[in-house]
Amino acid sequence: MNLQLNEIELKNILKDFRVRAEEKEEQIFHPLAALSKNHSRNQDSREDYRPAYKSDVDAIVHSKAYSRYIDKTQVVYLVDNDHITHRSLHVQLVSNFARRIAEILRLNTDLVEAIALGHDVGHPPFGHEGELYLSSISKKYGNGHFCHPLQSCRLFSEIEPLHLGFTVYDGFLCHDGAMNQNIIRPHFDKTPGNHFEEKQAKLKNPNENLIPSTLEGCLVKLCDTMSYVGKDMEDAISIGILSREDIPKTILGNKNRDILKNLALDVLKESYNKDYIAVSDEVFEALKILRSFNFQKIYTHPKLKSESEKIKKGYSILFELLLEEHTIKPDQSYLQKNFLLNKSNAYFETTSEVQMTVDFISGMTDKFFIKTLENLLIPKNIKI
């Protein structure tokens, strides 16, 4: 008996698999959850046996930008400790935490995963500190603010186009600002046109608090903050700049596992079968206390900022060197050889040289940033 499938039979089986997966979503999902059958892309409407948001997840994890997470700072940089959280671990923690909650809330876990895994690709070297330096330089050159949520959208739509779903890009853009309110109600009627307007608003004001168009996006927005508060405390304890006794006493506890458990239970209690994602007033206040403590005792700790001035100068020097060299010899510049070589015509038509330099630096890992400075600044032996 020949059991080998021919190409048509295999195609029909895969098509049937997708149809059944989409039917299952309609049967079990929350009435306001994002359905894969309603997924929309601006371009590249590709035929695929996978549910659409699962395809987006796969595109993200196989991207070059995702691979660079491995050496991008979360909070602690230039410290030799293999257990310190980097961006790669942070986005996985956000994804894992948010998906477990989403399963019980009957939301689309594939959309949650796509937003969670891709939301921080726009972060430049050395985390939020580097973001401030790069934004200052960008404004100095008349290019407007730099902010990582907007750059995450830009990276996967213009620099390394993945043609993701509109709601995925929307989740990227709106992921910050979760501490502004304890109830996050989606703007379900948002359109791609509204998304463009919100990108312009974010460019003018990086602190603009935008609300996602889906329950899934709202969940990731909240879980992003929840995932780092306790983990950053654990990292600070492990490197010796904080003791567990220093952590404020709240109803959430003083260990990451307890904080996450209590937060998850509260989100489920406050959000189940609702048209919003929320935490209780009491838990929200406790979360704000812990986050404020982190800013005071960890994120600005003198030992973690001992190299800050060098990094700030490094940003300024590197930006000027790259831009000046490219202006003088565009075809032979470091920017051309290491970033622009394979960019599309559309990218060149819509991107200024200043923005190209911003794009290049923002995509660097911490180590590549330092290596590039060394290559451009430190004299080398001359080969004759």
pLDDT, tens digit, for every residue of 190-225?
A: 999 999 999 999 999 999 999 999 999 999 999 999
Say what the pLDDT of residue 9 is.
85
The rounded percent of the chain whose pLDDT value lies above 70 is 98
pLDDT, tens digit, for every residue of 220-272?
A: 999 999 999 999 999 999 999 999 999 999 999 999 999 999 999 999 999 99
* Mean pLDDT in residue range 130-135: 98
Instruction: State how far the Cα of 51 lies from the Cα of 16, in Å rounded to an integer.
Output: 11
Q: Domain 36-305, what architecture?
A: Orthogonal Bundle (1.10)
Decide if pLDDT at 283 tops 80: yes
32 exposure class (CB count in 10 Å sphere: 0-12, 13-18, 19+): middle
Q: Please give the structure tokens belonging to residue 84.
A: 């310190």
Instruction: State how far the Cα of 245 lies from the Cα of 369, in Å rounded to an integer.
Output: 37
Decide if pLDDT at 2 tops 90: no
Decide if pLDDT at 1 tops 70: no
Decide if pLDDT at 11 tops 90: no
The residue with tokens 């994804």 is: 95
The rounded percent of the chain whose pLDDT value lies above 90 is 88
Instruction: State how far the Cα of 202 lies from the Cα of 225, in Å rounded to an integer.
Output: 19
Say what the pLDDT of residue 47 is.
72
- The pTM (predicted TM-score) of the whole model is 0.95
Instruction: State how far the Cα of 357 lies from the Cα of 355, in Å rounded to an integer.
Output: 5
> Which residues are within 8 A (CB) of 196 and not within 5 positions of it... i.e. 6 or more apart?
none
Say what the pLDDT of residue 43 is.
54
Give the angle 357-135-120 at the CA atoms, nearest 5°.
85
pLDDT, tens digit, for every residue of 147-179?
A: 999 999 999 999 999 999 999 999 999 999 999
CB 122 within 8 A of CB 151: yes
**CA 308 → CA 41, 128, 280, distances in Å?**
41, 12, 38
- Residue 384 banded pLDDT, cuts 50, 70, 90: confident
Decide if pLDDT at 98 tops 90: yes
Say what the pLDDT of residue 46 is.
61
- Residue 48 banded pLDDT, cuts 50, 70, 90: confident
> Which residues are within 8 A (CB) of 333 and not within 5 positions of it... i.e. 6 or more apart?
322, 325, 326
184 exposure class (CB count in 10 Å sphere: 0-12, 13-18, 19+): buried
Instruction: Share the mean pLDDT of the chain.
Output: 95
Decide if pLDDT at 44 tops 80: no
Q: DSSP assignment, residue 86?
A: B
- Residue 332 banded pLDDT, cuts 50, 70, 90: very high
**What residue ranges do the domains of the chain occupy?**
36-305, 308-377
> Which residues are within 8 A (CB) of 318 and not within 5 positions of it... i.e. 6 or more apart?
361, 369, 372, 373, 376
